[in-house]
Structure 1
Amino acid sequence: MRRKFINNFWKNVERYQKLRHLTDKDIGKALGIQAVSWYNYRYGRTNAKLSRIEEIAKVLEVEPLELFEVWTDKEWQEFCIGGKL
């Protein structure tokens, strides 16, 4: 269950990152961390604390809870196309 929750979080980070046209380097820079540190978060080598999750959400221009929403790929696509973002 925990792994599924974490995977969903990172999938949403990736979705919003693509939506905002941000590279990993852009996000790392905005967070004030090296690219390697960002990769460590992304690939589960380092766990993100709540304060870091809040910072990630700010960079992605979303509320932190939005990063934990469960979307199917179809729902996400419809959400984006529907002009809700």
Structure 2
Amino acid sequence: MTLVISLYICIRGCRTRRILQRWRRSFCYGGRPHWGKLHTLDSERLKDRYLMWDAFRSVRAELDPDRILLSPYIQKLFDA
């Protein structure tokens, strides 16, 4: 079963962090965020939730050896 929760948040809004902390509760039940979207999980926690995490990182590195498709946020997740 899949449940998708989508929310548009203005980054300048002061409530962003509060909303993300509330969403974090769903991760205790095996929930997993879209890794490319703003969330509170680090690389190790994402690896636990995505079974092919290391394989994906390898393929991504092979297809983008110059790392031009990495944003600073995504680079932080993949390089950890």
Tell me whether the two structures share a fold, i.e. TM-score over 0.5. no
- TM-score if structure 1 supplies the norm length? 0.28
- TM-score if structure 2 supplies the norm length? 0.29
Structure number having the greater helix percentage? 1
Higher relative contact order (CA 8 A, sep 6+): 1
